[in-house]
Structure 1
Amino acid sequence: MFKLFSSPKNTGYITMPHANQSSKKHTSQHQNSIGIFADIQNVSSIKGKGHFLLKFAQSKGRIDCKNVYYNSHYINQVSTKNELEILGMKCVDVPDHSNNSADYRLIADCVQTVAFNPSLKTIILFSGDWDYAGLICILKSLDIKVIVFAQRGSESPRLIKLVGDDNFHFIDELPQLVGNSNKTHPQNTNILSQINYDDAIKCLIKAINTALSQGKPTVFGHIDKLMRQLCPKYQG
């Protein structure tokens, strides 16, 4: 429902938004946003490649959602989850031994996310399982681009055909894909300070100890903020 507002009688004029402001607002509302959904059980080789995953997604647009699904009953999945959580991923535990339980949760969350976020134009799905064919068809019917990353040896040929060769990749190709995107979209890194590995570890430990002494949680967001405060060379 739209409402029309008239200006007060004593003003004699109506203030209108500047054309550039309207244009900027329109552009921001339609900016391409990205959603990441990963099933760790199907893509165990994602371990150690989380930063490449995020860089690839950032090259496509603004990341609005980054969900990872795992089963806490499996140590290897928890290990991967811990690594991705440090990078700011939202990790969802599905401690259910029944078949496809993580798949169902991921699909339900993805559909709900898309329903409440019309700006989502691209979904990056980490799983080569044919069980996600229905979800992909739903997303494509909504004009949402779907990019699939699979683990070698577990990919479904029918799934590849469904999304198309251009939108299908293997996880071990992430470093190369990120390198290519950097060449295509060069970024100015002159303003970034550099911190070596040893200093970064010392800064991390210092930030954790500071958080503990303050009775604060040692979650990624808070630790990242402390590290930026304690170590000027650390830029995230």
Structure 2
Amino acid sequence: MPHVNQSSNRQTNQQQLKLGIYCDFQNVYLSPELASSLLAFASARGSLISRKVYYNSLFENQASAKEYLQRIGFKCEDVTCSLKNSADNQLKSDLIDDVYNNQSPDIFILVSGDGDFANPVQFLQDKDKNVIIFSQRGNVKQRLKNLANEFHFVDELPQLVVKNTQPKNACIEFDITYNETIEYLIEAINTALVQKKRTGFGYINNLMSKLFPKYQGVSSIYVPDANKFKSFGQFVDAVVRDGKVQKQGHELFLIA
């Protein structure tokens, strides 16, 4: 079992991750309870530096939500243009712009099930960002779901908040070694190839979580010097340098 001080250092490194929330309110309605739970979920993962909701005040149900969202700290972006997907386009633009900010999030939380966000999510991952997606049941495109580094339905938020606020020492047993994680990575790539799926970073990371419950994202990988991998891309680069897998662009392949 890792030394107590090492465990504490690893938790501190995780808390230093920066997060941003981007909510497509026209696609996913957040009640006051779910909006508060979303903030609690993000705050438990690190430092929440951005919290934006995109809505259209021409719709009464969206305009009425602005008051409680602003009260709990969201920045509400009113996109009243009547053109189709205008709010989505503004959200996409902000995602790209925020990648290049000095205080760019390490983790982007996207609240939407709209398939139009698949390419922006891929762009974020190409920039070595992790993407967590929340969608409503019955209103999510499968490609978007598959791309997510982590995916949840919004109605799961209250339970996720309880799980995330459990005593941290309860999670220590899930730490896995770098070498173990390489084995998980290779198995996930092989599974994806057998299924004739693309082996993009987001899909493989998600598949590893499904196949191996011990794997809870790159923050669960234990390394001797207590420095966590900050992103899945950083972990992949290390594995490629060690000659265990090959990378072409942002797709992964087994060594022949």
Q: TM-score scaled by structure 2?
A: 0.58
- In structure 2, which of residues 101, 109, 128 is the aligned counterpart of residue 116 of structure 1? 101
Report % sequence identity. 41
**Aligned twin of 1:183:** 166
Aligned to 1:124, what secondary structure does the other structure show?
Answer: strand
User: Which of 171, 189, 214 is 2:154 aligned to?
Assistant: 171
CA-based RMSD of the aligned residues comes to 2.0
**By how many angstroms is 1:48 displaced?**
3.2
CA deviation digits over 1:114-172, x for unaligned, max 9? Answer: 211355210000001110011100100011000000011111111111115xx111000
For 1:170, give the aligned amino acid. Answer: F
Length-normalised TM-score, structure 1: 0.63
SS in 1 for 2:106: strand
Tell me if structure 1 keeps the 8 A contact 2:25–2:53.
Answer: yes
Which residue is equivalent to 1:76?
61
Q: What do residues 26-61 of structure 1 show as CA deviations (whole Å, max 9, x unaligned)?
A: x99x93100100010000144531110100000111
Question: Greater CA deviation, 125-134 or 44-53?
Answer: 44-53
CA distance in 2, matches of 1:147, 1:34: 10
State how many pairs are aligned: 157
Select which of 152, 157, 164 maps to 2:137: 152
Contact kept? 1:36, 1:67, Cα under 8 Å? yes
Unmatched tracts of structure 1, length 5 or more = 1-26, 187-236
> What SS class does the counterpart of residue 63 from structure 1 fall into?
strand
Q: For residues 43 and 134 of structure 1, what CA distance do their matches in structure 2 show? A: 19
CA distance in 2, matches of 1:75, 1:89: 19
| Partner of residue 111, structure 2 | 126
Q: Distance in 1 between matches of 2:90 and 2:65?
A: 19
Determine if contact 1:31/1:119 at 8 Å carries over to the other structure.
Answer: no
Task: Tell me if structure 2 keeps the 8 A contact 1:128–1:149.
Answer: yes
- The verdict on how the C-alpha distance between 1:155 and 1:80 changes in structure 2, with shifts beyond 3 A counting, is same
Q: What secondary structure is seen at the aligned counterpart in 1 of 2:64?
A: helix
Shift of the 174–128 alpha-carbon distance from structure 1 to 2, 3 Å rule, reads same
Amino acid at match of 1:147: I
Supply the AA of the counterpart residue of 1:132.
F
Task: Write the letter of the residue equivalent to 2:112.
Answer: S
> Would you say the 8 A contact 2:92–2:120 is kept in 1?
yes
5+ residue gaps, structure 2, are 1-11, 170-256
- Identify the match of residue 121 of structure 2 among 136, 140, 143: 136
Equivalent AA in structure 1 for residue 67 of structure 2: N
Asked whether the equivalents of residues 25 and 54 of structure 2 are also in contact (C-alpha less than 8 Å), the reply is: yes
3-state SS of paired residue (1:183): coil
Answering whether residue 81 of structure 2 is matched by residue 96 of structure 1, we say yes
Q: Which has the larger radius of gyration?
A: 1
Q: Among 32, 44, 50, which residue is 1:59 paired with?
A: 44
Task: Tell whether the 8 Å contact from 1:45 to 1:151 is kept in structure 2 after alignment.
Answer: no
